[in-house]
């Protein structure tokens, strides 16, 4: 028994999805176009420069694979990582195991379907802590102001602060 849910990724060529990992396993299905994956198993986490930025579904990295020349510290760490390269074409399915760091670049306009799944035990072990963090985040008690889900608006000049 497994609860599954899907994400669809639709985008032009050269779309970059930054380095991150997801808690669930993922069957990544390429529908049209071509994408390249860089994959790093969980034992490479020490080299992945884990970010403090909050994201509901993923754990993010401070490494920006498209701006490594501007990130000397992250680049040095990234250079020590041992990973895998995968290329997916229309009709391919790639299994991305739980907690595997990955970054993705589309070489062509692409449509992809990511199918995530969690067993009841995984929902308890990982889903519960994740939902607790999400609740604390919405209550502004956890990583508020440093997240991918809320856009911080510039306050009027007289207030001179971010809201
Ligand atoms: O296809 C992409 O650009 C991102 C895919 C991804 O990160 C995922 O399925 O977890």
Which residues pair with residue 8 across a beta bridge? 113
Mean of pLDDT values over 51-63: 95
Q: Quick check: helix, strand or coil at residue 135?
A: helix
Burial 78-104 (b: 16+ CB within 10 A, else e): beebebeebebeeeeebebebbbbbbb
Which residues pair with residue 80 across a beta bridge? none
Class of domain 3-138: mainly beta
pTM of this structure: 0.90
The domain limits of the chain are 3-138
Mean of pLDDT values over 43-60: 96
Does residue 88 have its Cβ closer than 6 Å to ligand 1? Answer: no
pLDDT (tens digit per residue) in 116-147: 999 999 988 888 888 999 999 999 999 999 99
**Ligand 1 center from residue 161 Cα (angstroms):** 34
Q: For residue 131, count other CB atoms closer than 10 A to its CB.
A: 12
Burial 36-48 (b: 16+ CB within 10 A, else e): ebbbbeeebbebb
Does residue 114 have its Cβ closer than 6 Å to ligand 1? Answer: yes
**Ligand 1 center from residue 17 Cα (angstroms):** 6
User: 16-30, 108-122, 124-138: lowest mean pLDDT where?
Assistant: 124-138
Of 31, 135, 155, nearest to 89 by C-alpha is: 31
Percent with pLDDT over 70 in the chain: 93
Does residue 49 have its Cβ closer than 6 Å to ligand 1? Answer: no
Tokens of 32: 């049209």
Classify residue 111 by its DSSP letter.
E
Question: Across all residues in the chain, what is the average pLDDT?
Answer: 93
Of 18, 29, 9, 34, nearest to 104 by C-alpha is: 18
**Ligand 1 center from residue 105 Cα (angstroms):** 9
């Amino acid at each position: 028994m497994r609860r599954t849910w899907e994400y669809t990724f639709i985008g032009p060529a050269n779309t970059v999805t930054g380095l991150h990992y997801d808690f669930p396993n993922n069957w990544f299905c390429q529908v049209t176009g071509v994408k390249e994956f860089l994959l790093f198993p969980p034992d490479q986490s020490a080299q992945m420069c884990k970010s403090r930025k909050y994201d509901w579904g993923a754990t993010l990295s401070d490494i920006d694979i498209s701006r490594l020349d501007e990130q000397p510290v992250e680049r040095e760490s990234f250079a020590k990582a041992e990973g895998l390269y995968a290329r997916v074409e229309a009709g391919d399915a790639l299994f991305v195991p739980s907690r595997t760091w990955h970054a993705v670049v589309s070489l062509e306009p692409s449509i992809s379907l990511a199918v995530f799944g969690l067993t009841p035990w995984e929902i308890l072990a990982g889903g519960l802590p994740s939902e607790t963090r999400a609740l604390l985040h919405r209550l502004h008690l956890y990583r508020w102001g440093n997240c991918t889900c809320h856009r911080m608006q510039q306050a009027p000049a007289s207030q001179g602060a971010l809201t």
